[in-house]
Amino acid sequence: MTQLIGTRLKALREQRHMSQDDLARVFGFKDRQTVSAIETGERRVSAEELILAVEKLGVSLDYFTDPFLLVGEGRFSWRQTDVGPQRLNAYERSAGRWIAAFRAIAPQVGRSAPLLRRALGLTRHQKFEDAMEAGERFAAEFELGDVPAARLVDVMERDLGILVLMVDAFQGISGAACRLPELDVVLINRHEVEGRRYFDLAHELFHILTWDAMPPEHSEEARETGGNRVEQLANNFASAVLMPTPVLDRFGDWSLIDTGELPGRMNTAANELQVTASALKWRLVAMNRLKPSVARAIPDAALRNNGRDAGPAIIPPLFSKPFMEVIGLAVDEGRVSARRASALLDLTVDDLADLFTTHGVQSPVEL
């Protein structure tokens, strides 16, 4: 709790554009060293000082003590299109509650995060070919198979210990990567078309695996090509993970396919690989299997966004099975009530029960 209060006090101070000297005067301390010790967790805040902070800084006591808040600890990187900062920050606060709940509860029910984190040996100065090679190696090392997209979530959760959450997000929000000191999280808007969901997933995986070497921007435009250098590296890595060379070679020599037949062949391949046909097109260009001039001549209207035949979209269930298992164990063991869990997840109690069933998780006794 001491570390939690210190972290949140620092976040609030920075948000208010206050110096440590300013905060020392609020508490009546002689110097800023005491504030520094509190912020780093070296000094405990007394009950009287905590009440003073609530009164003087105009926040609730929960701001400092509620473990199901994410304040000053998580760093997000969002993929979005035309979403204003105010709306994005509001959604980030909601997402922070889900992440904070999992972080607080998981160790209590025996689901601690991995001790060690994996990392790619890449920097922002590397060539795009290096990022593609890393993506190819990732697909091979983790045996993603003939349809890498189909196994990617499982590998991220089971082998890398990354929490993957399918969420209901504002239109324009594609997903995000979140880095905590002890936990990595990827959020994906489950209402995006299938191919874009998987591309976002692989793109955010790159950010998680390279966060220390090249921290991503808080917000980036969601697209499969372009962007700053880090985003271009992420796109090249994502394309190679989802469409490694051995997998694409199964479809024959793309350079020999008649131009008129290319859109149909791309749509068929994209359908099988669960990627967008547009991403496939530019992946072939990057591999020198398709000339840029030929790729540019293929109209976007001829390529399916998600590589699927017409029909109702398949939307994955909310959150994830590992996430719901942790919530279920917490409710079953009395660590959190079903009503509290429902409120944290922005669900009714009945919706919570249905979600356990959807994920094949045994419903807690309380439900």
* Residue-range domain boundaries for the chain: 2-65, 73-316, 321-358
List the one residue out of 300, 277, 72, 301 whose CA is nearest residue 195.
277
pTM, whole model, 2 decimals? 0.90
Give the tokens for residue 281.
């097109």
3-state secondary structure (DSSP) of residue 342: helix
- Phi and psi (nearest 5°) for 168? -90, 110
Looking at residue 306, what is its pLDDT?
A: 56
| Regions of the chain with pLDDT less than 50 | 307-310
Please give the full DSSP string across 252-286, using - where no structure is assigned.
--GGGS-GGGHHHHHHHHHHHHTS-HHHHHHHHHH
Dist. CA 204–CA 241, nearest whole Å: 12
Count the neighbouring beta carbons within 10 Å of the beta carbon of residue 30.
7
CATH of domain 2-65: 1.10.260.40
Looking at residue 70, what is its pLDDT?
A: 87
Looking at residue 72, what is its pLDDT?
A: 78
Partners of residue 187 on adjacent β-strands: 165, 176
Question: What percentage of residues in the chain have a pLDDT greater than 70?
Answer: 97
**H helices present in the chain, as ranges:** 2-15, 20-27, 32-39, 47-57, 61-65, 85-105, 128-141, 148-158, 194-210, 229-242, 245-249, 262-273, 277-286, 292-297, 321-332, 338-344, 349-358
3-state secondary structure (DSSP) of residue 299: coil
Looking at residue 76, what is its pLDDT?
A: 95
C-beta separation of 74 from 96 below 8 A: yes
